[in-house]
Amino acid sequence: MSKPSIIPPTQFRRHTGSQAPSSQNESGSANPVTTGSLSGTWYVRLSSSPFWIDKYGVSITFSLDDDDDDNAAAVQSTTPDLETHAVYTSNLSYRTSISPSGDTKAVSGTDRRLGAAPSAENGGTIPMEWRGSGWMKLVKTRWEILGFGGGGPGTDTEWLVAYAEKSMFNPPGISVYSRKRELRAEVEAEIRQVLARMVGEAEEQRDELERLVREVRVVGL
């Protein structure tokens, strides 16, 4: 089984003129993020973002937005939904108390894939934008999917690495989403090795990326 390929966020890659960077595998060939399906429920298990660290039982459920015309073909196709101009309704659920019986809070919004996925313009990552709904409609965050790992699309062992840019309320951060609520120790160890390799591939601001990876902590259940 090949090692998961996680690409550094766009801002940590060097762009020279119109030539966009691309991640490379060990043989030196281009190795962009393999597109998968974002739909379904993910659990935020590791993160360097202060927004997640003080929360418990964090889950995000992505559903293709039935009201968006660009999703019509994706719903009927076996092609991974991230290869379309996908728009998702996202529902975030979390507790602020360690107690499983604590109050659960919910935040809803819309996530839209920006541009082609993956594209040369962003070095092969998958750019996304989240916008809140209701009274949070003016709040938005840009984030990138840096790569997938685990058992592959459709399996409960799948995980992905995401990078959220600095927003109105939060500093930048790296997070790991998992299909399973709990990560086995060996899976967490593999993910941390992947993150360390990603730092080594950074071409700009490597110290900052290394700091973000170093600050990645387990998010409480």
**pLDDT (tens digit, 9 = 90+) per residue, 108-125?**
999 999 877 666 666 678
170-182 pLDDT per residue, tens = 899 999 999 999 9
More confident residue, 117 or 97: 97
Q: Is residue 26 part of a domain?
A: no
In which domain, by residue range, is 67 found?
Answer: 32-218
Average pLDDT (29-34) is 50
For position 29, what pLDDT does the model report?
A: 30
Q: Is residue 176 part of a domain?
A: yes
Selection from 32-46, 142-156, 186-200 with the highest mean pLDDT: 186-200
Selection from 18-32, 106-120, 133-147 with the highest mean pLDDT: 133-147
Burial of residue 54 (number of CB atoms within 10 Å: 0-12, 13-18, 19+): exposed
Q: Is residue 24 part of a domain?
A: no
Percent of the chain, pLDDT > 90?
55
For position 151, what pLDDT does the model report?
A: 77
For position 121, what pLDDT does the model report?
A: 62
Other Cβ atoms closer than 10 A to 221: 13
For position 219, what pLDDT does the model report?
A: 96
Q: Is the pLDDT of residue 147 over 80?
A: yes
Query: To the nearest whole number, what is the mean pLDDT of the chain?
Result: 83
Q: Is residue 168 part of a domain?
A: yes
48-61 pLDDT per residue, tens = 999 999 999 999 99
Count of domains forming the chain: 1
Q: Is residue 1 part of a domain?
A: no
Q: Is residue 43 part of a domain?
A: yes
CA dist., res. 33 & res. 142, Å (int): 18
In DSSP terms, 160 is beta-bridged to: 148, 177
pTM over 0.75: yes
Q: Is residue 202 part of a domain?
A: yes
Percent of the chain, pLDDT > 70?
77
CATH of the domain at 146: 2.40.128.20
Q: Is residue 112 part of a domain?
A: yes
Strand residues in the chain grouped as ranges (E): 40-47, 56-64, 87-95, 104-113, 126-132, 140-149, 159-164, 173-178, 217-218
